[in-house]
Chains A and B, each alone.
Chain A
């Protein structure tokens, strides 16, 4: 989110900006079910619903926690490390715009809520197919306060990174690096799936993966295009870059797939869409369209390498949140320091345009954010593990989380299912087959 020039002391609401931000907020909220679809396709069929439900659960829990306390800690005041309690329970969050914006404060809060929600949902990718649903929801509640709100304050809410000059247009720090490095910690604490490294654990529906990626890309236009909080130039630049960068990432991913396996893969393409969108997230409103295309092409390389290398390790970071979000966000944040252009963003130049100190500001965030996200998430899950079992038993994991956690199947045949009718006493009664 750019550090917007404060034009007038009492900003007025702009109807065009407000209309766009209403749409952008809805677009970003849609990204969380889209992520559910993307993730659900990548797991085995017996865990389809549980995987999707982790994303739906994040909407429920992170949405409520954000309104109650998270928003206040992230966006109240300009404390260096953490915000204040002035907006707890949405106190004082009204139609009057926040300083520097031209949209209702309430709408600003809702837009930011959708960011917190999808970030929490992203972390689930590290622990699918084995983490129990209840502890996951508790984790989301605590994580969205302890990790997301803090990082959002540092980068968006006037905390020390933003005050020090670090640029992050749409969330390379709290969303992408925050989720990616937290995912690594979560995978380490929860542990690998019991069959990991012993059996081939394959995606069960590549179409869901492609459809989910497509919907995520669609929503990302709201995510990046809305992060200027207006219909002004930075928003337009970020919006267009959200088209160009992933397209370049796709092309390079095709080439890498060809070199590695002589075939262009569909799930690889879906992954490339996500990686490209993540790459441009921090840099969207700061770099020229030409450099955005370079970012998409160059940024594909470390992420592709990570995705190829990670499954050879013992770390079952199941859906590669670290590679697709952590590494891509890291790359995007650093890229700002190299190629940000005052002519395009009106704020700052990067190293290649003669401003070396910007790279220093970006590198600081790229070092501190992963450490904070990893350490806090690791500690949080370790403490939670003292009070409850984070993962399902081996037996439950073998049967599948859909039946065990939710009592449903994604693909019920209905064969052999006997209808149960309650009788007058509320006792279960098996229906007479005649």
Chain B
């Protein structure tokens, strides 16, 4: 999960990285509650990129200016997200903006360090950063990074600071379960010191079982989600709403995407990505139906599962029970295949439920139902 800049900077500070000294304000009035030398930077706290280009960062020379900037920024939207707070920091006198990032990469077999002597908002338009493939964190070697950086960073003092910082970031990524730690810009100040002027840190949600702060962030993030998404998360289902009308209940990410694409090819539009593979139980499927039955845009529900570990005779029995108990009259189309799928037909016999032999025919029927509902 992507942290806000403020959360990211707290993590950096704990790792001994110099960050600018700011504070969080949740309303325009509290922006001036703490004394800072002016000018200040007022920055939207959102977990999404390209904030600066969207106008989410402002320079304010006076307290009144800071309040009005905060008011404007707090009313903005960044994608679907409204900032819950602004970060107020002293405005830095930057002599050069650098780029430094540690992330996880298959080719590196672990962590990779990326460095560019010119960073900032237009980093993607410049020369691509140089890379040093570290692998596991313990394999970090300063001299190897020096070899990579030497030709593009002639300022030896900056270079050595960057190398020392890179080691801290790699160690922090490992110790704090970060997938990405990006500092852009890494600001060089008049006195030659380097300060993390921004922080884009992605933490590994899978590490929540051993990192209480990640677990807490997940709980916080799910509170901000709409109710159906929060319910899905709580029930171990993966739900992403799309803007179509064919509700899709499926298992496995690849198969779900393949089915979504086929719905598109057939002239329909998927209403969601709803992967039940992490909880293929009666409770999981009941929740999936409940979520889609309550969503007015969903005109038909396609259950498309190709099970490996998920045994399809069990799924078919669950579906049979659910269909008998369910109140909604939204049509349901089935395509169940995989382990023990041979028994699905006999389980469905006499229930009026039909299992399609191919994904194509199940998708075609679903799209046809959705279209008919759309015309009415």
A and B are partners in one complex rather than unrelated chains: no
Give residues in B with beta carbon < 8 Å to A: none
